[in-house]
Structure 1
Amino acid sequence: MKNLFLTVSLLGLITPAWAQQASGASPVLDVQHYEISAEVVPDKSFVKGEVKIRFVLLEDSVSLPFELNTRLSLLGVRDEEDVSYSTSFDNFESSRLRVRGSETFRKGTEKTLTFRFEGTLEKETYAFLDTPQAESAVIYPEGAILLSEGNWFPSHRLPLDAATATVKITVPLGFSVVAPGEMRSIETLGISEVFTWESGQLLTRIPVVVARFFRQKFEDSSIPLTFYVTEAFDRDLRPFVDEVTQMLEFFQSEYGPLPKEALNFVQVPNVRLPSTGCAGLILLESSLLQSPAIPIMELARRVARQWWGYSLRPGRSSDAWLQDGFATYAALRYFEVKHSDRFSTELAREAVSALKYESNAPVSKGLELQSGSAQYQSIVASKGAWILYMLGQLVGREQFDGMLGDWYRQKAQQTVNTSEFVAFIQERTGEDYRWFFVQWVDSVGVPEFRIDYTIYKLRDGGFKIRGQIKQNIELFRMPLEVRIETKGQPEDKELNVRGKSTAFTFPTETMPLRMELDPNGKVLSDSPRMRIAVHVALGEEYQALKEFLPAIREFEKATQLNPRTSIAHYRLGEVFFEQRNLSTAANSFRDALNGDRKPDWVETWIHIYLGKIYDVLGQRQRALAEYQKAVNTKVDYNSAQAEAQKYLKETYSSPQSVIG
């Protein structure tokens, strides 16, 4: 873990990123409305259409900037008087185009330009990687996923320049279209159907999904819910609906009414999405809908964006954490109130997620980190949520959560920036917390604490502890709790840590036994235990992508830090098993059994994997013994008991190899 910490802004040499305008020139236009009309042909991966963009000029300009997918052709641009305009594409960023007319575009003018476009948006294939890919604009025989990040229609500065939209999509009979807003009509034209959706609410993103959908409506909750699921979907949605209803009720109690009168959910294939919806619409991968257990954290995060991100909207790239950091914090609040037994676990997971990439960039890098990427999720969403959690510790949790609700209600349906939030916190608390935001939002690095101390016995019978708290960041500043374990009751103290070394002297009535820093986990910090968790998390990320070599390296780093880390040995065993390196896999699984056996499900699944290995090797009796050991643990994580029972009845056979 790097110890780099950028603090030049603390010295007053530069203005923090969150107090600056977005990088580059100020926007020259403000889009008011998109009117999109397109035909999607799934079996040819083809789209053809036009978009009318109504906008207001904010500055005089000789050209206007827009974006369009490089795989699409721009057929022409005309205005409301049918005057044609010339276009050119950027030599370095080929998705950027500029529109020029015969005269300068004048500030304050309202104008409408119509762009005609067409092209193929085929699904990219990767011969070397059988794993879900990031998809932002793709048309395939079963339908289409068309996200505004994929620039599938000419647009301007989405998601920062929000606008209303009308979307009219023509598809072959049998297909359905889901888009933002309310469905206004379905018109049949021969062997095609035209779906018209309209949103009067400002949109930061304009996703369109095409598939053979069945619609399931649930109107018995406080907010009507509609699910668009594919023909193959056969799960009972009621448990999902009940959890979503509970989320909506909680977030409304925290922040205010849902900005939409209804909420639509649409099933999409198992792809990595750069964004997951817009106002009134939430995208759900099939893996989330069909998961054995409801993925509460991710679902709560997506629901919370209806408030944080789609109603209260970030104004600049550096303000992206006002969406995803705040939505992640809101999801954690949901756990804290509704699933309190799991709150500490989810908070710790977000800490591990934050530490994975936090040294790469500050939170204020925002959208430059690419929405939906692993780095964005780590830095903007997870670290952003932890920033709010730590600020709550400084202000007082109950007071802070009330303040968040007040700020949302003041700023709902508006564009906001971090400077406004900093000023709001200062106004409500009477304290200047700019140092906190510079340290955590505009800088990289987290502290790694250690403590040195000496215990003295006093003549009056009491005790005194004198020592220093040390950490690795030069200009770090943060209150830190210290717990002194004694022969009597533990004593909690608080110390303002400043710089790399902070001296302290604490009196105690009974004999001290040990000292613990930050016992309640209020500060995002590094430690040997956290480094192990980060290496395991990174390894799991590579493992999910089937990038086995970097996965093995990360898991081995974890075992080097602590050879008794069972989860790292277990993950190594999984990787080797998938590579059919059975001998090495078995050794890794046995190393895991000789470790700390945490979490408890590891032992169960180790026995299942060892049983499978013995089955492949033709040692059925040894395999049966391992499956029985798995059953005896009585742990059923990820349907482990059903898996063990299955192979007690039938012999496991590995996927057939090239030699049969």
Structure 2
Amino acid sequence: MSALFRILRTTSLTALTLCLLTAMVWAAPAKPQLQITSYLINADLDPSVNRLSATADVTFTALEELTTPTFELNNGLQITKVTDAQGHPLESERLTNDSTVRFTLAAPIPKGTSTTFHFTYAGTLKGSETSPVEGIKLASIEDPISILLYPGRWFPMTGLFTNRFTAEMHIRVPSDERVIGSGSGVAAAKSLPGNRTEHTFKWSKPGFPGTIIAGKFLEPITAGNMRVYVTEKHKDHAHDFASLGEREYLFMSGTFSQTESTHMNLVELPDDTVSAAWAPEIAAIAGNRIAARNEQRLLSNTLAHQWWGSQVSPATMNDAWITNGMSRYAELMYLEDSSGKNAFQSAITDISAGALAYDTEPLTTIGRLDPFSPQFQSMTLEKGAMVFHMLRWEMGDDVFIKFLRAILSEYADKSVRSSNVQTIAEKQSNLELQAFFAQWLDGTGAPAFADKYSVFRLGDNKGFRTVGAITQDLDLFRMPIELRIETDGKTEIRRVDISGSDSQYSIETFGRPRRISIDPENWLLKSTPDLAVRVAVLRGQELVAQGDLTGALIEYQKALDANKNSSLAAYRIGEIFFMQRNYQSAANSFRDALRGDGDPKWVEVWSHIELGRIFDVTGQRDRAVNEYRLAVQTNDNTQGAVNEARASMQKPYKREQTEN
């Protein structure tokens, strides 16, 4: 397998993984018809035949006079009976194109009226064939792990991640399986006839307790308030996984305050589903990521949803940048705390590229897009994260944390809107932020800064005055910016207010200025030549993920046109040639990557590994071992590179046999 699918240092594939959790076949209604408030679900799982049988009492309130209530339901599930609150049978129409069920009522439900429908349904759930998201397994009853993820629509629902509800669930499984759900502290498993057990889960706060994971999990490993559920296959990694989860959870609890529950379950997912999923009290990670021990950022992002997604949620999909973006930024905050400033700065550069990759739609209208699209993913995750990053710069660290906690406190168990975030930001910071939110939420694009200045010597040995102007191409842009002035003596830092396309400044320093850098710490989202390369590479990666290798090559070539020495662009081109079995061209590209600008650093170690694999598949074992040895000598273990190289020195790489 190409390193493309393992190295998640750039943001696109990580964004794809996490945004799968908010993806759907998209046909957004103008406004919701109804608000589901509670569920009572009884479900039987039979992994031997991949079958789910269930009943669901769905209580909802009509938000308008309701004549044709519509619910989303996985296409693999067939309804056998639906009755209203009086027990009268209802006729339903299945719409498979958008995984919905529609009812035409004899008498409308008046606006503001609450009622309950009782559903009886069953069906086969295996793989991704019936998934509401094409090609992604979200609900599947299998051995050794069954997943019923909330986005898999395994019960009648509406308003994905916007409609908050309470739930009581009774889940019956074979007696050799454990079940994880939200509200797991309520009751122990109850034995049933036929070697089956019933597990009860109650979540009484409005939220998203719609995920159930069942399987042949071992006795849970504990670390603090973490309980880790893994299968026999991954038991050797359980303790490290628990320790990592505990460290990340403690950091976020200290930053955002304690979550609504004192319980937290870390759960293994099958390798062939999404890489991560979350629900109240649940953070689930694919087994192959746990085994590879490269789940740190993925797990921190997933845990962050306990606050940003579970405790507060977006009022509409136009507000999804708040929770998606803050979960991404919480991931980076933990990276900064655990790995240092350099790792954080590198990640911010990648996030900036993701934010600019598809920046043609304002965040406040992003709900018009398919949430599964690369544009929705990049905008809500990456640009959303950058909005919070820039707010941190405007406010300062202490006020920024107070601002985040205020959101979580004021909107606990509620949905939050973009306007609410602005109100709290202004209240906590005592800043007027109308221009900030207009620029970054209602607008598109990022400024491209330039600086022109002159240096004058002051009399009486008082130093130097630098008079200059910062120019940029967005006439309405207004924000403070940091200047770093490197002089013959010490380096000076100044904060300059930018307003409009030409902003004057005057700075006095004792030493003669030798270099002036604009926003050296990357606090602002801005357009730069380096980011132009990363944006093109990012778009290329998205096209590879979609199977469009020709389109990806075009994007990678754009990156090389912007920077002919780009190691990253050359490396990505080499990956495509390797996938196409064009080994000579692949080798040439990986050598170009080694001769390039060395950005990012991990390109060096992985280029040597890829060259080693090329020599292995072409029968040149001595040359392959030499490349693996060079990889080990870099001492760069990004995504397990050194471990991979050492293993390949012992056993030649063999390419998987696949059909063209």
TM range (shorter): 0.7 to 0.9
Please say which of residues 614-623 and 195-204 is displaced more in the overlay. Answer: 614-623
| Contact 1:87-1:99 at 8 Å conserved across structures | yes
| Contact 1:273-1:372 at 8 Å conserved across structures | no
Task: From the superposition, tell whether residues 446 and 178 of structure 1 become closer, same or farther in structure 2 (CA, over 3 Å).
Answer: same
| 1:249 alignment partner AA | L
Q: CA-to-partner distance for each residue in 1:536-559, whole Å, 9 max, x for gaps? A: 333344445665333333332222
CA distance in 1, matches of 2:311, 2:123: 33
1:177 aligns with 2:182: no
Q: CA-to-partner distance for each residue in 1:558-610, whole Å, 9 max, x for gaps? A: 22221222232223223323332111112112212222234444333333433
1:102 pairs with one of 102, 106, 109: 106
1:388 aligns with 2:426: no
Task: From the superposition, tell whether residues 494 and 290 of structure 1 become closer, same or farther in structure 2 (CA, over 3 Å).
Answer: same
Task: From the superposition, tell whether residues 531 and 270 of structure 1 become closer, same or farther in structure 2 (CA, over 3 Å).
Answer: farther
What residue is the counterpart of 1:215 in the other structure?
219
| Contact 1:44-1:141 at 8 Å conserved across structures | no
| Contact 1:256-1:409 at 8 Å conserved across structures | no
Deviation of the 1:83 alpha carbon: 1.5
Please say which of residues 577-586 and 372-381 is displaced more in the overlay. Answer: 372-381
What residue is the counterpart of 2:521 in the other structure?
520
Gaps of 5+ in 2: 1-26
Deviation of the 1:657 alpha carbon: 8.4
1:206 aligns with 2:207: no
What residue is the counterpart of 2:152 in the other structure?
150
| Contact 2:278-2:303 at 8 Å conserved across structures | no
CA distance in 1, matches of 2:236, 2:357: 35
| Contact 2:481-2:496 at 8 Å conserved across structures | yes
CA distance in 2, matches of 1:246, 1:653: 38
What residue is the counterpart of 2:24 in the other structure?
none
CA distance in 2, matches of 1:74, 1:44: 18
| 2:381 alignment partner AA | A
1:83 aligns with 2:84: no
What residue is the counterpart of 1:13 in the other structure?
none
CA distance in 1, matches of 2:370, 2:229: 28
How many aligned positions are there?
Answer: 627
Please say which of residues 303-312 and 540-549 is displaced more in the overlay. Answer: 540-549
What residue is the counterpart of 1:332 in the other structure?
332
CA distance in 1, matches of 2:651, 2:62: 71
Task: From the superposition, tell whether residues 649 and 372 of structure 1 become closer, same or farther in structure 2 (CA, over 3 Å).
Answer: same
Deviation of the 1:64 alpha carbon: 2.9
Deviation of the 1:517 alpha carbon: 0.9
CA distance in 1, matches of 2:652, 2:265: 44
What residue is the counterpart of 2:306 in the other structure?
306
2:40 pairs with one of 30, 35, 38: 35
What residue is the counterpart of 1:473 in the other structure?
474
Q: CA-to-partner distance for each residue in 1:255-298, whole Å, 9 max, x for gaps? A: 322211211122112345397221111221123211234x3222
Please say which of residues 562-571 and 542-551 is displaced more in the overlay. Answer: 542-551
Task: From the superposition, tell whether residues 540 and 508 of structure 1 become closer, same or farther in structure 2 (CA, over 3 Å).
Answer: same
TM-score between both structures, scaled by the size of structure 1: 0.85
Deviation of the 1:624 alpha carbon: 4.4
Deviation of the 1:60 alpha carbon: 3.9
What residue is the counterpart of 2:318 in the other structure?
318
| 2:389 alignment partner AA | Y
| Contact 1:54-1:111 at 8 Å conserved across structures | yes
| 1:37 alignment partner AA | N
Please say which of residues 93-102 and 164-173 is displaced more in the overlay. Answer: 93-102
Gaps of 5+ in 1: 1-21, 127-131
| Contact 1:275-1:372 at 8 Å conserved across structures | no
| Contact 2:85-2:116 at 8 Å conserved across structures | yes
| 1:433 alignment partner AA | L
Q: CA-to-partner distance for each residue in 1:138-193, whole Å, 9 max, x for gaps? A: 34565533223232221232422211112233445544433322263333232544
3-state DSSP of counterpart to 2:69 = strand
Percent pairwise identity: 30
| 2:116 alignment partner AA | T
Deviation of the 1:632 alpha carbon: 3.8
What residue is the counterpart of 1:553 in the other structure?
554
What residue is the counterpart of 1:408 in the other structure?
408
| 1:31 alignment partner AA | I
| Contact 2:221-2:228 at 8 Å conserved across structures | yes
| 1:421 alignment partner AA | V
Task: From the superposition, tell whether residues 89 and 333 of structure 1 become closer, same or farther in structure 2 (CA, over 3 Å).
Answer: same
CA distance in 1, matches of 2:153, 2:205: 21
What residue is the counterpart of 1:17 in the other structure?
none
CA distance in 1, matches of 2:651, 2:57: 62
After TM superposition, the structure 1 = structure 2 runs for residues 49-64 of structure 1, keeping only pairs within 5 Å, are 49-64=54-69
Deviation of the 1:404 alpha carbon: 1.8
3-state DSSP of counterpart to 2:105 = strand
| 2:554 alignment partner AA | R
| Contact 2:577-2:585 at 8 Å conserved across structures | yes
TM-score between both structures, scaled by the size of structure 2: 0.85
After TM superposition, the structure 1 = structure 2 runs for residues 305-454 of structure 1, keeping only pairs within 5 Å, are 305-341=305-341, 342-357=343-358, 359-365=359-365, 368-369=368-369, 374-454=374-454
3-state DSSP of counterpart to 2:350 = helix
2:79 pairs with one of 42, 52, 74: 74
Q: CA-to-partner distance for each residue in 1:105-127, whole Å, 9 max, x for gaps? A: 2344432210222333342479x
3-state DSSP of counterpart to 1:472 = coil
3-state DSSP of counterpart to 2:578 = helix
